Amino acid sequence: MNSEITSSGLVGEIANYIWKRTDTNPSFAETCAAALVATAIGPNVVVPTRMGDNRLNVFGICVGGTGISNKTVALDIVRLMARGLGKKLERRVLLPSKFSIEGLANYLATETNWGLIVGDEFTTMITQRSKTWLSDIMEFLSKLWDGYIPQYVTIQRGVEGVPFVYVNFLSATTFYLAKLLKREGDDFFIQGTGCRFLWDLDFRRELMDEDPSQAIEWFLDPFSREELMA
């Protein structure tokens, strides 16, 4: 966890604005700023790499104590800025934060194929995975980050698909997420979803009721989680 904002330029300015007004994790403030800037830039700018061209979309999650990390307050500011950005661009950039897979896929196909999702509590997606409308949420999030959604079948319209999407994603949760993933037995990182996120871990442990060391170990060393699963 950084103790101050280290980014420069527009990302640094936005990050400082969020951080000074919320006292959230500075790293998360920078992630929020990067997601906003990436949303404003849009899908037409890429970073060339040896593995191919990468778009700038950002998936970020802040993990910290309830009432300590000021995660929700920071996300509220992001929503306000995203709405203002939409007015400047004369298009809607703030995507629905609560959705079914089919519903969001249809929205991206019919309304806009790029924007920013700002969700309050990431663990809600995990705990509701048993529901039909979120049963494949992990794979779906991976596809959103990758930039495409495979064809899907709807009762009313038959086979549909979105050839290209550009989505940025921000959310927050507590260290309970690690315990939840342990209980679910989900290969969250090996499957690939967890590796697509920037994890901003808030270590202000002196204010936390529980020692989150085991949860922290889960996030920092996901490939040795066999001990946690025992």
**pLDDT of 114 above 80:** yes
Please state, in angstroms and rounded to a whole number, the distance separating the CA atoms of residues 147 and 13.
28
pLDDT, tens digit (0-9, with 9 covering 90-100), for 47-81: 888 888 888 999 999 988 777 778 889 999 999 99
- Per-residue pLDDT band at 5 (split at 50, 70, 90): confident
pLDDT, tens digit (0-9, with 9 covering 90-100), for 216-226: 554 555 444 44
Phi then psi for residue 164, to 5 deg, are -155, 135
Q: Which sign, positive or negative, has the C-alpha torsion 3, 66, 126, 168?
A: negative
Q: Which sign, positive or negative, has the C-alpha torsion 137, 143, 98, 103?
A: negative
**Residue 15, token pair as written in the block:** 């990050």
Map tokens 């921000």 to a residue: 170
**Domains present along the chain, CATH in parentheses:** 9-229 (3.40.50.300)
**pLDDT of 1 above 70:** no
Per-residue confidence (pLDDT) for residue 115, from 0 to 100 = 95
Please state, in angstroms and rounded to a whole number, the distance separating the CA atoms of residues 230 and 226.
6
Please state, in angstroms and rounded to a whole number, the distance separating the CA atoms of residues 74 and 2.
16
Per-residue confidence (pLDDT) for residue 189, from 0 to 100 = 73
Report CA dihedral (126, 130, 133, 135) to the nearest 10 degrees: 70
DSSP single-letter state for residue 94 = B
Judged by DSSP in three states, 129 sits in: coil
- Confirm if 188 and 138 have CB atoms less than 8 A apart: yes
| pTM for the model | 0.81
Please state, in angstroms and rounded to a whole number, the distance separating the CA atoms of residues 155 and 52.
37
**pLDDT of 168 above 90:** yes
Phi then psi for residue 203, to 5 deg, are -95, 30
Q: How many residues does the chain have?
A: 230
**10 Å Cβ neighbour count for 145?**
19
Per-residue confidence (pLDDT) for residue 224, from 0 to 100 = 45
Per-residue confidence (pLDDT) for residue 169, from 0 to 100 = 96
**pLDDT of 32 above 70:** yes
Per-residue confidence (pLDDT) for residue 118, from 0 to 100 = 94
- Per-residue pLDDT band at 126 (split at 50, 70, 90): low
- Confirm if 103 and 109 have CB atoms less than 8 A apart: no
Residues 6+ apart with CB under 8 A from 179: 215
- Per-residue pLDDT band at 206 (split at 50, 70, 90): very low
User: Could you tell me which of 63, 188, 218, 219 has the C-alpha nearest to residue 227?
Assistant: 218
**What percentage of the chain reaches a pLDDT higher than 90?**
30
